[in-house]
Chain A
Amino acid sequence: MQLSSLIDPAFVQLGVVALDWRDAVRACCAPMVLAGAFEGAYVDDIISGAEEHGPYFVLTRGVAMPHGLPETGVNAPALGICRLEEPVDFGNDACDPVRYLLPFGSTDAEAHLDALAALVDLIGDSAFFATIDSACDPQPVLAYVRAAEKEREEA
């Protein structure tokens, strides 16, 4: 399954205002909850998991991929892209503050290995984040993801 097929345009949010990391996690997951892909309990699990174990889903400088235990409430695989208006601290000194959130839920990670490999490339690509910074609507962001996917396939 391709990365772009996990991202509904409604899951791309640009300029979200969040008070702290918990607020940011709730806000970035809100469109998936609304669409029925995630249950509210899944979002609660992401937050309680980070409270218990630390922010294990902060990936690199400024970027986090909030995700939890799928059995707590993932109905359909989904990935969001969320740019915060002001970055927030998650408690990972090497990577704080975090401006970009990539909330993820999947019931079968093996099936999404290609998509996650594409995502590893994207989080190391400064032009991807420049596109997110300059975008006013989801289209340029989704177009960038699709173009990067095509490039991977041809490589």
Chain B
Amino acid sequence: MTYHALVCCRAGMGSSMMLKIKADQVIKENDYPITTRPGNLKALKAFTGDLVITMNDLVDEVRDEGIYAVGVDDILDVGQIKAGLEAFLASKKGEA
């Protein structure tokens, strides 16, 4: 099982790209079963994946859509990204 994540910011071309680069590093280092692609808030409306990774300011908007969201305050805070992704994977354990 591989989970699909949308890494998004409002515009989909600046912070989301940088967050995707950082999240991909964390995913690779820890061998998490997650693939990522970048997007903007519009892409959220048509989203069919498993989770969204985004800047903390946008987390509430993502959760309002009923999508699991991992929020990040600081894109260099690898610990926060790691903890968020592990919490997501733990939430999926019961379903498997």
Contact = CB atoms under 8 A, between A and B. Distances in A.
Chain B interface SS verdict (over half): mixed
Given A57-B15, A70-B11, A109-B13, A117 B21 contact: yes
B86 interface: no
A10 interface: no
Contact of A120 (B9, B21, B55, B56): B21
A150 interface: no
Interface string B13-41: 11101100110000000000000001011
A67 B9 CA distance: 10
A54 B59 CA distance: 11
A105 to B, nearest CB: 8
Interface residues of A, number: 30
Interface string A114-135: 0011011001100000000000
A69 B16 CA distance: 13
Nearest to A66: B14
Contact of A55 (B17, B40, B57, B61): B57
B11 A65 contact: no
6 A-B pairs with the lowest CB-CB distances in the bound complex, closest first: A54-B57, A109-B13, A94-B73, A67-B14, A60-B76, A56-B55
Interface of A: 49, 53-61, 65, 67-70, 92-95, 104, 106, 109, 112-113, 116-117, 119-120, 123-124
26 contacts: A54-B55, A55-B57, A56-B10, A56-B55, A56-B57, A56-B58, A57-B15, A59-B15, A59-B18, A59-B76, A60-B76, A60-B77, A67-B14, A92-B56, A92-B57, A94-B73, A94-B74, A94-B77, A95-B73, A106-B13, A112-B17, A113-B17, A113-B21, A116-B21, A117-B21, A120-B18
